[in-house]
Chains A and B, each alone.
Chain A
Amino acid sequence: MGESINLAVEAKGISKSFGGVLALDNVNLELRKGEVHALLGENGAGKTTLSNILAGLYRADGGTVLVDGAEREFHSPSQAIEAGIGMVHQHFRLVPPMTVAENLHLGSPDTPAIVSQKKLVASARRMMDEIGLEVDPTARVWQLSVGEQQRVEILRVLARGAKVLILDEPTAVLTAQEAKDLFVVIRRLVAGGRTVVFISHKLNEVIEISDRITVLRGGKHVVTRDAAGATPRELARLMTGEELDNSVEHRTVDGSVVLDLIDVFARNHRGIEALHGVNLQVRSGEILGIAGVSGNGQTELSEVVTGLRRTQSGSISIAGTDVTGGTTRSIAELGVGHIPEDRIGVGMAGSASVKDNAILRHYRSSELSSGTRLKRGSVIDFAKRLVAAGRVQTRSINMPAGQMSGGNQQRLVAKRESMIADRLLVAAHPTRGLDVLATKEVQSAIVERRDNGCAVLMISDDLDEVMLMSDRIAVMYEGRVMGIFDRSQFDRERIGMLMGGQVEGAPS
């Protein structure tokens, strides 16, 4: 009995299926008061489904939910929040043109029908004082950084009296500093007796912030354990059910220069100079990783190389062909693939079918078209082949690509681009947002291209990933290449200093 008093929420035997697919199978979850409880699992493990049931967005097919010892069933998120359970979703549900104060009061039953901006701001300040979280209440949401917007979401949920706060992959959208700030907020909340459910598949983070960890796999409960003493390797095994070999073989190759940038200058989309005389060479059979804090010209670099952005001056050549000012199409035809940073916004059309997205780079080839006509049979064969080879999980190639999970959209784009990358693959944040298994798959695909003689330019703001994957590392800071490290010279500390603009870290 003593323990059940300490339980904020107890979910017993929760099951849920979607269209015949079992998403949750008899899952139990106990949330104690004042703890950070991590829900860990691969994409599709059931983390989000379980939280959506607790937050009243879905209804369970079976099982019971006890809040403070009393059985409850929620038909809507507002009923869940009345019972004290609130959720902050991965994609924010704020109204960008409205102020923070307005957003905090939006849809709340306590907001009076007629109210002045002044009263809203005052009431917002009161909420922030009570909860102990600060955001300028008069600022408009679109002016805020992503981290601040997330704080508004958290405030909005807590202001309705939530005692249990569910955060769905809260750090996926944050910078490293913002993530640190969020952790401070989380610790303060649990110190005040609240419960935080932290959904993630980033293992280091989970170990750092949580008190207890529940691992789900394939809709089933695997284990609930204390975070203290857990290792990333052990958690990864529990999540994936297999031992992952997380190493990449490196060797020094002396391939010919494929990508050659000489003194390249370019502006960003706001017209400000983003590349400041970049000199870089990527050789056949090597992965050159670009390390740097995001926003230091990496995005523009990938865009000038693939023809999406004009250069101001300097020259770019690929396999000896000058491509300065070339079109995306002419560059792609040289055998250049591009996994773009914004996959959904640039790399694919979500409303178009998986099939149409699969052929985006190949539809002009003689395999898929003759003259002006597309060969429909070959198109279907090709799409099926790509889906199978890229391990894209989809019910049908005629389904809109945007309805697949993010990981599968990523696999589709990554495979499509790898297939045309005979000479050069430009991969911008290729594993961002992916779970452990999918990350491993995409990384192996990149290594496989390299081993076949392709030159790879890889951009990532995850230094661990850059150090794992790269044969050489170039550090970028404020649009310049600060230094280039051979694998034997890799030194996290020196690379980190260069990323911050301190030249003492430069390699000899």
Chain B
Amino acid sequence: MSLPFRFARRLEVNNKRSTSYRISGAIAGLVASGLLLLLTSRNPIRLLGQSLDAIFGSQRGIEGVMVQSIPILMCAIGVALSLRMKIWNIGSDGQFLMGAFAAVGVGTKLDVPHWLLIILMALIASIAGAAWILIPALARAYWGVNEIITTLLLNFVALQLVLWSALGFWRDKKSQVTQSTEAVQAVLPRFPGLDSVSISFIVPIVLAVLFWFVFRSTRVGYEIDMIGGNANAAEFAGINVKRRIVTVMLLTGAIAGLGGMLQLTGAPGAQALSGGFSNRFGLSGFIVAALAGASFAGVLVAGLFISAMFYAGIALQTKGLSVYIIFGIYGVVLVGIAVGETMARFRLTRTDPTSAATTTGASA
């Protein structure tokens, strides 16, 4: 009746163990997905081969993953920053869209040199992203209103605003495609030596490194972590908690908004705003931040991994695999990682054989 092994909680979870458990979880998820594919009489090994080939087989594949990763990483970095404070910004999709929206407005209406236009667009997009989270931030900091609901709901407002602009007041009347705005003419230069990736790829990397440093070695990072740990204790120590919450939330919005501008001026074929401009980047970004446990090095790894899966999925679709099967695999792998993360907090111990022996004499 009693198992020879049981789980005991670890007192301390170190990062190395946590990381290796997450990676093992992802691999277990892929194996489980393979078994599921076998059940649908497909050859998982061949599909895996095709996926790897799609990604690593050509420069196009690798560049495709990089292009995919920029908006996801930008959203993920914003979300991870707020998660350090235990604030759940579910609205990075909306902030991303509002950044792009503001950038389109400036980018298509202003007649200034392109280099200046790029700078102005980046600025206005950051401000718009921050503005989109201003009300949830103030409501959270001063009246304790749950930010999950406010930020989530504003996503729908942002999407409707974008649709309205694309179908209405900013609609591109010259274009055949009637459901988008005019395209911005100022675009970012390509990354040296690459065909489709713009130099915007360095932005999320620089930001991740910057925040990694902030949380590792600065007072502000420590204060944000303490607010996340216990806001009362932070207040006790004289940290201005309300002001910090507002500042950090505005910053997360600004990063997502800047992400929208980078997508608009950097991604191939994304220079106009339409209803499909954000491919749920905010949601993917949220998953990445959660998987990474709000660690910024982790965000980079998880972000590239999710982007690669995304890209492989697109490639497999062209091989006739249904999009639902791809979503299914996506889900199983994420569950694997989440289970791995939980497992890292426990260890397997042997139950003592002597106590197992007395069990038999129990209910006599």
Residues of A within 8 A of B (CB): 19, 59-62, 64, 70-73, 75, 307-308, 327-330, 332, 338, 340, 345-352, 356-357, 359-361, 363-364, 369, 372-374, 376, 395-396, 398-400, 403
Contacts and interface: CB of A to CB of B under 8 A. Distances in A.
Interface stretch (B71-79, B162-170, B303-311, B353-361): B353-361
Contacts, number: 101
Contacts of A350: 229-230
A349 B12 contact: no
Contacts of B1: 75
20 contacts: A59-B351, A61-B354, A62-B355, A71-B358, A73-B355, A330-B238, A346-B232, A348-B230, A349-B226, A349-B233, A352-B225, A356-B229, A359-B222, A360-B226, A360-B236, A361-B237, A373-B218, A374-B217, A395-B12, A400-B12
B111 interface: no
A19 B8 contact: yes
Q: Which has the most chain B C-beta neighbours within 10 Å: A60, A360, A364, A398?
A: A360
Given A62-B352, A62-B355, A75-B2, A349 B229 contact: yes
Contacts of A338: 236
Contacts of B229: 349-352, 356
A410 to B, nearest CB: 14
A369 B220 CA distance: 11
B2 to A, nearest CB: 7
Given A360-B237, A363-B222, A70 B364 contact: yes
Contact of B355 (A61, A70, A352): A61
Contacts of B228: 351
Contacts of B2: 75
A345 B364 CA distance: 48
Interface of B: 1-2, 8, 11-12, 216-222, 225-226, 228-230, 232-239, 351-352, 354-355, 358-359, 361-364
Given A328-B237, A395-B11, A373 B219 contact: yes
A338 B358 CA distance: 52
A328 B226 CA distance: 16
A67 B298 CA distance: 53
Most A Cβ at <10 Å: residue of B221, B237, B239: B237
A345 B229 CA distance: 11
A356 B1 CA distance: 44
Given A19-B8, A73-B358, A399-B12, A332 B352 contact: no
Give the secondary structure class of B's interface: helix
A346 B239 CA distance: 13
Contacts of B362: 71-73
Contacts of A75: 1-2
B292 to A, nearest CB: 17
A172 to B, nearest CB: 22
A411 to B, nearest CB: 16
Nearest to B6: A59
A399 B10 CA distance: 10
A89 B223 CA distance: 35
Contacts of B220: 372
Contact of B218 (A19, A346, A352, A374): A374
B11 A403 contact: yes
Nearest to A401: B229
Nearest to A359: B222
A79 to B, nearest CB: 9
B352 to A, nearest CB: 5
Nearest to A340: B236
B175 to A, nearest CB: 49
Nearest to B233: A349
Contacts of B239: 329
A446 B92 CA distance: 50
Contacts of B11: 19, 395, 399, 403
A357 B229 CA distance: 10
A396 B14 CA distance: 12
Given A348-B230, A349-B233, A329 B219 contact: no
Closest 10 CB pairs of A and B: A329-B238, A349-B229, A349-B230, A352-B229, A73-B362, A328-B238, A61-B352, A360-B237, A346-B232, A349-B233
Given A64-B358, A356-B229, A374-B222, A308 B238 contact: no
B232 A345 contact: yes
A364 B1 CA distance: 57
Contacts of B216: 376
A348 B359 CA distance: 43
Nearest to A396: B12
